[in-house]
Amino acid sequence: MEKDEEENQQNREFFRLRYNENERPIFLAEGDKFPVCEISEQGVRLLVKEDTQVVDGRIIAGIIQFEDGSEVEIQGKPFRREENELIVRLHHGLELKKINEEQIRIRKKYSRD
């Protein structure tokens, strides 16, 4: 990815942390599990199956379980769907502190130092 492309992707109101497949937290809701592809202060991007039914305007609530064992309750509404990913706009967003902790954890894990 070229630098201009990367800058355009992050030229948004809130920083987004995109997870590699093997680093994804899990979102638990109503007995179902969904990998979390991306987090931001005001939204999450969930990996959903093709046949997953989403009702516009219906509140989605559950818990994100992170690799460090911490859990965060979230609640929001579907914003849009892009193929097998569902973007949820949160009513009460994730704390920037948690997003930063996740970014640091991932950087340390893959650091070449």
CA angle (65 as vertex; 60, 59 as ends), nearest 5 = 5
* pTM of the predicted model over 0.85: no
The CATH homologous superfamily for domain 3-110 is predicted glycosyltransferase like domains (2.40.10.220)
Question: CB atoms < 10 A from the CB of 62, how many?
Answer: 23
Residue 36 contacts residue 64 (beta carbons within 8 Å): yes
Least confident of 3-7, 22-26, 48-52, 98-102: 3-7
Residue 10 CB contacts under 8 Å (≥ 6 apart), including other chains = 16
Distances (CA, A) of 84 to 45, 58, 59, 103: 10, 19, 19, 24
Least confident of 12-16, 55-59, 76-80: 12-16
pLDDT in tens, 37-63: 999 999 999 999 888 888 788 999 999
Task: For residues 102 and 109, give the distance between their C-alpha atoms in angstroms, rounded to a whole number.
Answer: 11
